Amino acid sequence: MTDPVVGLVLEGRYLLEERLARGGMSTVYAATDLRLHRTVAVKVMAEHLAHDPTFVDRFTREARAAAMLSHPNVVSVSDQGSDQGLVFLVMELVRGRTLRDLLQARGRLTVGEAFAVLEPVLAGLTAAHRAGIVHRDIKPENVLIGADGVVKVADFGLARALTGTGQTSHTGGVLIGTVAYLSPEQLERGRADARSDVYAAGVVLYEMLTGHPPYGGDTPLAVAYQHVHHDMPVPSDEVPGLPWEVDDLVARTTRRDPTVRPLDAGAFLADLEDVRTDLGIERVPVPTGRSTAGPGTLRPTNRPSRPRHPSEPGDPGTEVLGPGGTRPGRGARTSMLPGTGPGPAPDTGGRRPAPVPARLRPGVPPHIRRRRARLALALVLLTAITIGAVGWWLGSGRWTAVPQLAGSEQAAAIDLLQEAGLDPDCCEEQWSEDVPEGVVIAADPAGGEVIRGTDVRLVVSKGPERFEVEPELVGQPLDAVRAELDDVPVVLTEVQDYDNDVPVGHVTGFDPDPGTELKREQELTVYVSRGHEPVAVPAVVGLSPEEATANLEALGFTVERTEGRSADVDPGEVMAVTPGAGEQAPYDSTVTLQVSAGLPQVQVPDVVGRSQAEASTVLQQAGLQVQVSQFFGDKVFRQSPAAGETVEIGTPVTILVTFGQD
């Protein structure tokens, strides 16, 4: 059936071309990055989960966790998004198979091959642990083996940062993860750290050496019970001949008490290298689907095996004692008494054979009967414990009380939730004027009885909300400052003021000063320059034009000159200034100087024909002096300068007085 997703282009960039794998939560496609022209893998969340915020959050967390890592043994994640109703991750495409595929095809691996696979897995996990990330779901399905033999760790979907969280991932009260590889502390308390990944990696090593996980059961609860209450079996119980150093490595990395395991994947890797050195195990290529074991490699039988039942007399492939103490070896038949094994029964003539006396009856050896009795008792106890655990869980055991969290430090609140079997959803941060930074303001749910594994949302204080104005804004244009303060929730007030140094329209300062912590909606005054303050025009009348100009230009004025006449100011000196002396004028405005060109001028009035007295009066009123040349008579006969001529005030005018003519 054609996959409807194949052929889609996500976000105009990723062309989905081929479905590679499908799981319960997602499907992986080979795709082409149309922008960079490269082949990538695109993991698309299952449609029925795309609308569940919890699963979308897990999907996004995988992208963020993997994106934090840059290591050749970790599958890189380059993008994350949603388009056309599909939530997806874009990852490096690894052409090859999973370790699960390899184990199903090959059965168990040699010690050298198992080490060759596990070393790069631990190297990738070391990078994650050093970055503060716990994978939380190490299993063969999440170990990718490329066709070139490069091993990479994939699927950080359950990963969380070490700081502040240690819980196993829950969704809707259901534990997410593969129970066959979960550590006891994850199963019991929901806590996980780097040592939980070490435990899972130790289980994977066991499975590579034996061909199957250490525990089996009809239900996940039965498997979980064995992880919590039983020490891990050693691989040599299944594969005789394995060195005890390998058994010890598996045992040390899968201790039920996490405090006695290697601290992290880096410590596990160092222990593995020590075992390799002690045993002289040569390095072999990573198996990619066919045997590459060289001579001298520790190689058990490659046939898949099953866990041995305690009632079985021996392991497959071990020698069995025959009658008379002979060792028939593998595949040899052991002699049997008549009627106790295959072969024709003795002829009894149709009669029922006589019973064999008990002391002669072959029967089951006493040690076998005791072993079977112990097994039966163990099964009864396990069944009773399982039934009790299920009853406890379905009754009161599945419920727990939400502790009082408000007022607790964030780390302490997380510890309280984990101790109560709850999953901290950490953390929504909010500003608070009353609650110190890092202290829980509220939780949801805030109290009461809830199902174990429920997410409890923590709201943590970021402390008082404060804003600062950068000092660099002083001197910037007002429009630019408004844009910078647009996202600062303060009440802005603008005040215009003169400033002799800052250009018009630029900010001269703030109140409160820049760098002061401001509360939300606090008033912030912005002072804006109106330019240079006005300047008083100095007194320059009577000065030379050059001296007056220099004085005015020193104050920032532009100077213009005109001429005038003055009876009070000598020619060549400033006789007037506009604006007048002492008046306030804008900085860089124009001041006009009027320079004296001499006395004022007037036109000589016409006094010919007038009487001497009348002519003298008219001339004097015009500012002229009167000089009289008189002959007999009283009439002005002639005047000099003539009427209409322009002369300076005070110029003498001579009038000739003689007899008038009627």
Q: What is the DSSP string of 285-349?
A: PPPSSS----TT------S---PPPTTSSS-TT-----GGG----TTPPPP--TTSSSSPPPP-T
Partners of 191 in the beta sheet? 167
Between the CA of residue 2 and those of 19, 87, 183, 649, 660, what are the distances in Å? Answer: 10, 20, 40, 117, 139
Q: Cα separation of 86 and 197, whole Å? A: 31
pLDDT exceeds 70 at position 614: yes
Mean pLDDT of 465-477: 91
Partners of 461 in the beta sheet? 430
Tell which residue, 593, 591, 602, 543, has the closest CA to residue 570.
543
Strands 440-444 and 491-497: unpaired
Q: What is the pLDDT of residue 328?
A: 32
Determine the 3-state secondary structure of 471 from DSSP.
Answer: helix
Q: Which domains does the chain have, with CATH numbers?
A: 9-91 (3.30.200.20), 98-120+133-279 (1.10.510.10), 400-461 (3.30.10.20), 471-529 (3.30.10.20), 535-596 (3.30.10.20), 601-658 (3.30.10.20)
Residue that the structure tokens 């119980």 belong to = 237
As a whole number of Å, the CA-based R_g of the chain is 53
Tell which residue, 484, 479, 480, 452, has the closest CA to residue 469.
484
Strands 86-91 and 77-83: antiparallel
Determine the 3-state secondary structure of 261 from DSSP.
Answer: coil
pLDDT exceeds 60 at position 615: yes
Determine the 3-state secondary structure of 557 from DSSP.
Answer: coil
Q: Which tens digit of pLDDT belongs to each residue from 477-533?
A: 999 999 989 888 889 999 998 998 899 999 999 999 998 999 988 999 999 999 999
Query: 34-48, 71-85, 513-527, 624-638 — which is least confidently predicted?
Result: 624-638
Mean pLDDT of 116-135: 92
Q: Which tens digit of pLDDT belongs to each residue from 616-632?
A: 999 999 888 999 887 77
Tell which residue, 548, 542, 605, has the closest CA to residue 575.
542
Give the count of beta carbons closer than 10 Å to the beta carbon of residue 163.
9
Q: Cα separation of 289 and 295, whole Å? A: 19
Alpha helices by DSSP H, listed for 86-181, are 99-106, 111-130
Among residues 3, 33, 79, 137, which one is catalytic? 137
Q: Cα separation of 71 and 128, whole Å? A: 9
137 catalytic residue (yes or no): yes
DSSP 606: -
Q: Which tens digit of pLDDT belongs to each residue from 203-262?
A: 999 999 999 999 988 888 889 889 999 999 999 999 999 999 999 999 999 999 999 999
Cα 115 to chain centroid distance, Å, stands at 35
Q: Cα separation of 88 and 67, whole Å? A: 14
Burial 306-339 (b: 16+ CB within 10 A, else e): eeeeeeeeeeeeeeeeeeeeeeeeeeeeeeeeee
Q: Cα separation of 118 and 133, whole Å? A: 19
Q: What is the pLDDT of residue 45?
A: 86
Q: What is the pLDDT of residue 573?
A: 92
Q: Cα separation of 210 and 241, whole Å? A: 12
| Rounded percentage of the chain residues whose pLDDT exceeds 70 | 80
